[in-house]
Copies of this chain bind each other. A is one copy, B any other.
Amino acid sequence: MRKFNFSAGPCTLPLAVLEEAQAEFVDYHGAGMSLVEMSHRSSTYDAVHMEAMAKAKSVFGAPDDFSVVFLGGGATLQFAMIPMNLLSDGQRGAYVVTGEWASKALSDGSYHGDLYAAWDGGSEGYRRVPTAEEIVIEPNTRYLHVTSNETIGGIRFNEFPDVGVRLVGDMSSDYMTRAIPWDLFDLVYGGAQKNLGPAGVDITFIRNSVLEETNRELGAYLRYDIHASKNSMYNTPPVYAIYMVGKVLRWMESQGGLAVMESQASRKSGLVYDAIDASDGFYRSQVDRESRSHMNVVFHLPSEELDAGFLAEATRRNMSGLKGYRTVGGVRASLYNALPVEAVDALVELMADFRSANA
């Protein structure tokens, strides 16, 4: 029986996509070989690759003046590549520190450019994102980096801040789950392994006018302009991950596209937050209401024993991946695009039953 998979990533993918990929794996559309055995310069792979790139732009609604690149190394490599590529002498990068991922983006990037924290929620326990007014932009700032959704803390920007410098957004954990105001952004990036496919590929959108000014004094793999000019085929791309991303994007289209994903995410997370809010404090969320993530709902029960009991009962009810992050504990329900609403219904039912039995 297929599990209700609440894993924070890698995570659940559409069953129809998995079954289609399985069926065509050994002999790809009668080619006499698997897609992963073909030259990445073959016309067959080229069609798969270019379709995935085009769909990434169309599904996400990226304007024509943005390019998309598919890279290996995940969002973690992007932490270094962003300041490497975007900062010239004398320019600085500003970072909104909203949790573990934003902290990593800042500390990693600091080896490759002059960066600073424009706001840091650490003293408040990372329970919210700042307002635009709270973000302090210093002179010579080239960009403001924001982490759209913090997977571990379970907070998100409901509105992206307009502070007079363009944004760079890490959207790893809510990529293509929401429309974004492209005018505010110069660059958007993230790993595919939450909402878009298996692990192994990062997707970066970058404004074309920015590509004209990026640093050229870097090894080729570290240059956005080269990847963009070669349609992410400068070197051998991560073929299988890109192929799967293309299929997931096609599935998203078939479901109605980004707007449907966004409303489903709001609905699914709303069901869990409602269960928390209606529990008379049995289930507790540390996150400020207006910063609540639509992807990762983090909550605690009244004791660690009850946390453990809840997780054990979840396992008995065919749910997996609900254990909270190591440093946070409690429960984390990740509700990515491919998680069916039936899984959320089952979780909410568990929350009601477990509270009745233990409150």
Contact = CB atoms under 8 A, between A and B. Distances in A.
Contacts of A27: 2
- 8 closest A-B pairs by beta carbon, nearest first, are A72-B72, A80-B219, A200-B238, A3-B32, A36-B198, A108-B219, A72-B73, A76-B235
B32 A21 contact: no
Contacts of A321: 39
State how many copies of this chain the complex holds. Answer: 2
A240 interface: yes
A72 B193 CA distance: 14
A126 to B, nearest CB: 20
Nearest to A110: B219
Contact of A219 (B111, B193, B239): B111
Interface stretch (A10-18, A53-61, A91-99, A134-142): A10-18
A79 B9 CA distance: 30
A112 interface: yes
A199 B10 CA distance: 19
Given A80-B219, A80-B221, A221-B77, A236 B191 contact: yes
A350 interface: no
Interface string A164-200: 0000000000000000000000000001010000111
A18 B34 contact: yes
Given A26-B18, A200-B239, A2 B32 contact: yes
Interface residues of A, number: 67
Contacts of A244: 36
A19 B34 CA distance: 10
A318 interface: yes
A31 interface: yes
Given A25-B21, A80-B221, A218-B80, A200 B240 contact: yes
Interface string A260-284: 0000000000000000000000000
Nearest to A81: B219
A31 B9 contact: no
A218 B113 CA distance: 11
Contacts of A25: 18, 21-22, 25
Contacts of A74: 72, 221, 235-236
Contacts of A235: 74-76
